[in-house]
Amino acid sequence: MTSPARVLVIIPAHNEEDSLPGTLAEVRSKAPGVDILIVDDGSRDGTSRISREHGVPVVRHPVNLGVGGALQTGFRYAVEHGYDIGVQLDADGQHDPSYLGVLLEPVLEGKCDVSIGSRYVTSTGYKAPLNRRLGMLLFSGVVKLACGHTITDTTSGFRAYTRKVMEVCQHDFPKDFPDAPLLITFARNGFRLLEVPVVMRERVAGQSFYTLGKQLYYPYKNLLASLMALIRRPV
């Protein structure tokens, strides 16, 4: 590497005022070389205020678009501000910034275009409930159809993306949940995906994007979106 790559950590946040200060402090201490962007996805609490108090740039959606929309906004910001790599990191403290190096390494070395911090590549002690495990099995199967190899943790929101990937996401992006359909879209666009093992923690505070009401709708919607991403021609 000649000049160090510019890395932007994109943190989608929806009502995360409780966990955000801890997450920001941790990213700064464990990964001092990276910039941070908060995408406040229509929060009703002090998410934006806390970000500004910490001196972190914050882009605020006037209404809630979902984590996919927040990510897309972050990508656009990263592309416009000349970043080489974008890292997606949850605001709730689930993702340990000490793994940023592990996550970035294969992308920096050109081994892949998207690296995914996975709970399941090696045994990391995470045990999911049965319905979740079945869903994961199903979606990693669908993703395998598209990219040829298995991605075990399709729902992981701890990922690093090259600039090229973020550029493509400006016009080809599945709505709502950025998991299996998004990974398939990447594979269909010829991007290489790679999983790296990470340990994830319990969320500190706030509410998951995957709420109870979406639990029935989610598998249907996601499966359909995945299959459509499979047969749709990449742009």
Partner 1 sequence: MAFLSRTQIVVAVGAVLLALYVLDLVRRRRLSEEYSLLWVIATAVIAVLGFSTPLLVWITDLLGMMGAASTVFAFGLAFAVAMLLYLSIKLSRLGFENHALTRDLALLRHELDEMRARDGGEESK
Piece of the chain touching partner 1 by CB under 8 A; list 21-29, 73-81, 99-107, 195-203: 73-81
Piece of the chain touching partner 1 by CB under 8 A; list 18-26, 72-80, 157-165, 187-195: 72-80
Per-residue x/- track, 147-186, partner 1 (CB under 8 A): ----------------------------x-----------
Beta carbon of residue 166, minimum distance to partner 1 (angstroms, whole number): 13
Between vectors from CA 35 to CA 30 and to CA 37, what angle results, nearest 5°?
110
Beta carbon of residue 130, minimum distance to partner 1 (angstroms, whole number): 34
When asked if residue 69 is in the footprint of partner 1 (CB under 8 A), the reply is: yes
CA distance 95 to 62: 26
Between vectors from CA 79 to CA 199 and to CA 15, what angle results, nearest 5°?
50
Task: Give every CB contact of residue 218 below 8 A, 6+ residues apart in sequence.
Answer: 177, 210
Which of 72, 94 has the CB closer to partner 1? 72
Figure out which of the listed residues 61, 144, 221, 232 binds partner 1, where binding follows CB under 8 A.
61
CA distance 218 to 231: 20
When asked if residue 222 is in the footprint of partner 1 (CB under 8 A), the reply is: no
Piece of the chain touching partner 1 by CB under 8 A; list 62-70, 108-116, 132-140, 181-189: 62-70
Piece of the chain touching partner 1 by CB under 8 A; list 70-78, 121-129, 143-151, 179-187: 70-78
Which of 108, 168 has the CB closer to partner 1? 168
* Number of C-beta neighbours around residue 218 at 10 A: 16
Task: Give every CB contact of residue 216 below 8 A, 6+ residues apart in sequence.
Answer: none
Which of 46, 57 has the CB closer to partner 1? 57
Task: Give every CB contact of residue 155 below 8 A, 6+ residues apart in sequence.
Answer: 136, 139, 177, 179, 180, 210
CA distance 86 to 37: 10
Q: What is the CA radius of gyration of the chain?
A: 17
Q: Which residues bind partner 1 (CB under 8 A)?
A: 39, 57-63, 65, 69, 72-73, 76-77, 80, 175
